[in-house]
Chains A and B, each alone.
Chain A
Amino acid sequence: MGIRHYIGLLVLLLLIAVTPLAVRNDYYLGLLVFAGLNCLACIGLSLLMGYAGQISLGHAAFIGIGAYVSGYLTVRMDVGIWPAMIAGVGACMVMALIIGVPALKLRGHYLAMATLGFGEIVYIVAVAAIGITGGPEGINSIPKLHLFNYVFKSDTRFFYFTWGMVFLGLFFALNLIHSRVGRGLMAVHGSEDAAGSLGVNTARYKIQVFVLSAVYAGLAGCLYAHYVNYIDPGPFGVMHSVLLVTMVAVGGIHHIWGAVGGAVFLSLLPDMLSLLSEYLEGTGIQYRSDYDTLVYGAILLLVMLFLPEGIAGGLNGLVKKARQMVRPGTAGTEK
């Protein structure tokens, strides 16, 4: 991993440290916790999309499985929080294997279709299997996350924990892509034939990275359950899966940092828009929250048209251009 990434990680760490000091409002800290959870899921998804060239349209279902397994075990079975969260993540790994092995042994975008169906099934089960999931009512009074006697009861504490996980997740992901395995994955993306001819077990790599991406999403789900203490099927539907894919795409599919940026940006966007609508109201223009979808669509469209490599890709391009202007002929090509 290059020096740039270490600097980036350091900056991220500083930002994480100071944010709760600057943002003293619990509501906004809570928003940032949700943004962090989306970040976790998006980092995994970005590995899958940007580095293995596969798309999952069911990642919210993995968040859901993590949340429900951990919630169910702690509330109904009196299992401790940490074993329950491990079980939640484990359940995601098993599900990812079940879907991934048949779908990823084939070439092409079978995973997208398989995960779309999977997402829908998980949602239906969450709504219909009332005996286990509580149906539309969901599961209540899920215990707060705690470590021995330390309870993550305030939003500040939970913020630090969630973003600590984002930091670790990002660190591991960056290690992965700058390794033999990461190169193997990029090779699969670049040319599956050539990768195979060099001895890369392409099917196995695709399955491994899919399972890893499910682990990230599952972890986000477990944390979600023990943060909001109440789960219902609503947030785990296909719409959220699509939103996660959008976050990765807007951030920049080939840049793991982009996943973080895209997740934070789109997670905070609804509240930015409501602030905007309050402001507009003062000027007499009516902005209704129904327009949010329109704004989302416009943003996605604009990014795809003008920044096909996402926000991160666009920034990268700017830096390169600036360097070229300073030192012509030495276009930045380092990674």
Chain B
Amino acid sequence: MNERILEIRSLRKEFGGVVAVKDLDLSVDRGSITALIGPNGAGKTTVFHMITGFLRPTRGDITFDGAVLQGRPVYTIAEMGIARTFQNVQIFSNMSVLENVMVGRHLRSRSGFLGSLLVPPFFRREEKEIRKAAARWLEFVGLGDQARLPAGSLPLGSQRMLEIARALAMEPGMILLDEPASGLNARETVAMGELVREIREMGITVVLVEHDMELVMDISDQVNVINFGSLIARGTPREVQANPEVIAAYLGE
């Protein structure tokens, strides 16, 4: 198995005349917590969108476990084992908390359209398994007692947890977290850090975009600093914090 689970080579994204991501090279070690940081508008979320198929790169290669990702539809990238959350939480507010996570079991179950209409015994068994697994993942993020609530009624912090539970229910090889601590209070941020560590303990590679530097420096194995769409530094939290270019980018020249 390759040491690097994700490799990005000369990735470029242009919107009209604007270059959002400029010939970016990036790699993520298997089993690591890798952070992507940089000032607002640096192109971090654009990179996430290209990895997960929401945006098509102008040029460049993205490979996950040796398989090429660019040009694939969104749902097939999920099939390859990449899960993600969204900067503006995207929970299904028309469903209950538990049902949200049950959708996360989509790829781990098989019942199709006709089976759903007719409900054969196999289907009932699978439905039970889906429910059980979803409840387990809710328990894991600490929302076990809120399973029956409408998802839209949860406070933002819990919604972020729910989104992660839903993504984990896919049992992905890698999870991309887009600003998981944004909008969380200090206590919730600490809990989020703990959760991210636990996710790594399960062998899932974590890539996160985050603005809370304390959190990033606390939990990351590798930090990549992006500015104006290019990588300006890469290293352990300690190395990156000492890098003069990074300091310049954050403080403004």
List residues of A whose CB falls within 8 A of some B CB.
172, 175-176, 179-184, 186-187, 189-191, 193-202, 208, 212, 254, 333-335
Contact = CB atoms under 8 A, between A and B. Distances in A.
A183 B112 contact: no
Contact of B86 (A180, A186, A193): A193
A176 B54 CA distance: 28
Nearest to B146: A333
B208 interface: no
B83 interface: yes
A195 B116 contact: no
A208 B113 contact: yes
A208 B130 CA distance: 22
The 9 closest A-B pairs by CB, nearest first: A190-B92, A179-B116, A199-B78, A196-B74, A194-B90, A199-B107, A191-B90, A181-B116, A172-B117
A176 B91 contact: no
A207 B166 CA distance: 25
A183 B149 contact: no
Interface of B: 52-54, 73-75, 78-79, 83-84, 86, 90-96, 99, 102-107, 109, 111-113, 115-119, 123, 126-127, 130, 148-150, 163, 166-167, 170
Given A196-B53, A197-B74, A197-B86, 7 more contacts: A180-B116, A180-B126, A182-B116, A186-B95, A193-B90, A198-B170, A201-B75
B149 A187 contact: no
Contacts of A189: 92, 94
B92 A194 contact: yes
Nearest to B153: A333
Contacts of A200: 75, 103, 106
B78 A197 contact: yes
A197 B107 contact: no
A183 B102 contact: yes
17 contacts: A176-B116, A179-B115, A180-B126, A180-B127, A181-B112, A184-B106, A187-B92, A193-B54, A194-B90, A195-B103, A196-B74, A197-B90, A199-B75, A200-B75, A201-B73, A333-B150, A334-B148
A61 B142 CA distance: 50
A254 B119 CA distance: 22
Nearest to B151: A190
Given A198-B167, A208-B113, A333 B96 contact: yes
A291 B132 CA distance: 55
A196 B95 contact: no
Given A181-B111, A197-B74, A198-B104, A186 B91 contact: no
Contacts of B123: 179
Nearest to B80: A199
Contacts of A201: 73, 75
Contacts of A191: 90-92
B91 A190 contact: yes
B148 to A, nearest CB: 5
Contacts of A175: 116-119
A198 B118 contact: no
Contacts of B104: 198
Contacts of B170: 198-199
Contacts of A334: 148
B115 to A, nearest CB: 8
A326 to B, nearest CB: 18
A333 B154 CA distance: 13
A196 B130 contact: no
Nearest to A254: B94
Most-contacted residue by chain B among A176, A179, A182, A208 (CB, 10 A) = A179
Most-contacted residue by chain A among B79, B90, B91, B96 (CB, 10 A) = B90
Nearest to B93: A190
Contacts of B148: 333-334
A47 to B, nearest CB: 11
A201 B73 CA distance: 9
B83 to A, nearest CB: 7
Contacts of A212: 113
Contacts of B166: 194, 198
A197 B83 contact: yes
Given A197-B84, A199-B75, A187 B103 contact: yes
B73 to A, nearest CB: 8
A190 B94 CA distance: 6
B95 A187 contact: yes
Contacts of B74: 193, 196-197, 202
B163 to A, nearest CB: 8
Contacts of B119: 175, 179
B107 to A, nearest CB: 4
Given A195-B103, A199-B170, A333-B149, A190 B109 contact: no
